[in-house]
Chains A and B, each alone.
Chain A
Amino acid sequence: MLSKQNLTWIAAALLCTTLAGGAASMYYRDRLALVEADYRRTLDDLERLTIKVDVMIDYGNGTAAWFNGTMVSPGETMLNATLQVAEVLYTVTEFGAFVDAVNGVSGVENHYWLWFTYDGEWVMGSVGADAWRLHDGDVVAWRYTGF
């Protein structure tokens, strides 16, 4: 059985650990608030320097993936925006970049990766994806299209 004096010392030791723990948690809570505020400010700065576009990838087998709010630099090309959200294999020809595979999907006979923009309806891209410049709010898509 512990004596009253020993219990007093143990209580005092626990008080020390409580004080140290409380001070540490107060400090790290403050640090967290600072880091979060810094993160929000950086995000605001980043948003002023970027545009947001929605990118859809339709694999032609009933599967489609949306990458909404993809942040890219103003004037970024369709191809570069796609490179941010997917693994893309492409060939640069005299007519522009030709996409061969998106996320490993390729090789089906008479199927090609075509890109589209949305403006009330889907409109097929008229130039190479590396020549189409995006603007804030654009909605674009890649479709593995068969002929």
Chain B
Amino acid sequence: MDDPSIGIELERELNGTQRTAVMALLTASAIATNYLLIGVVNVKLMDVIVFTSGYLLGARSGAAVGVLTWLVYGTLNPYGFSLPVLGATALGETLYGAAGGALRGQLGSVGWRPDARLAVVGFLLTFTYDIMTNIVSAYTAGVPLAVAMVGGVPFAVAHEFSNAAFFSLGFPPLANSLTKVFEQYA
């Protein structure tokens, strides 16, 4: 579907129960892919799923999907649990959902094919997210901020470029196919 208003229409067409079900479905997908990619540090499909949630359901719902995903993944995580880091990651993840909702009008038609604009969006959102979470992680771990920021560059770069690829290649078919599915039930 090439209509720029697909998200807005879908948001309007879903009732409260359906919206909750879709949010739960997307949250579950984000959590499942996180555990699936647990061994690949900083390469996750979660961010594009949360962004898609915002795009399809609106900024607030997208942000909620981000927070819910982190509440599960950040609590039951083999790398350990840290409340400040969980707070930062959950808050940071809301960026993706909020941006998905906010950029619906700006992006216009996304089509099915890879979209370079989404690579830019994915990169910049992830850069912001990484800065924020690195600052909180540095203070939590008692590591000097400069050391944490510089030492985190390889991980941040992996995160940013993988998200650029996922947003560019994955978002258009994901958003369009979900829209088609939801249209059947809305």
Number of A-B contacts (CB under 8 A): 35
Q: Judge if B143 is at the interface, Cβ distance under 8 Å.
A: no
Among the stretches A12-20, A71-79, A107-115, the one at the interface with B is A12-20
- Bound form: Cα–Cα A30–B116 in Å: 32
B33 smallest CB distance to A (angstroms): 24
> Is A24 engaged at the interface, CB distance under 8 Å to the other chain?
yes
- Residues from chain A with a CB closer than 8 A to the CB of B117 are 9
The interface of chain B, by Cβ under 8 A from chain A, is: 116-117, 119-120, 123-124, 127, 149-150, 153-154, 156-157, 160-161, 164
Number of interface residues of A (CB under 8 A): 12
Q: A16-B164, A19-B127, A20-B160 are in contact. Are A27 and B120 (CB under 8 A)?
A: no
Q: Name B's interface SS.
A: helix
Q: Which residues of A contact B120 (CB under 8 A)?
A: 9, 12-13, 16
Q: Which single residue of chain B is at the shortest CB-CB distance from A17?
A: B123
Is the pair B153, A23 in contact by a Cβ cutoff of 8 Å? yes
Q: Is A26 an interface residue (CB 8 A)?
A: yes
Which single member of B153, B160, B164 contacts A27 (CB below 8 Å)? B153
Q: Within 8 Å CB of A9, what residues of B? A: 116-117, 120
Which residues of A4-62 are within 8 A (CB) of B? 9, 12-13, 15-16, 19-20, 23-24, 26-27, 30
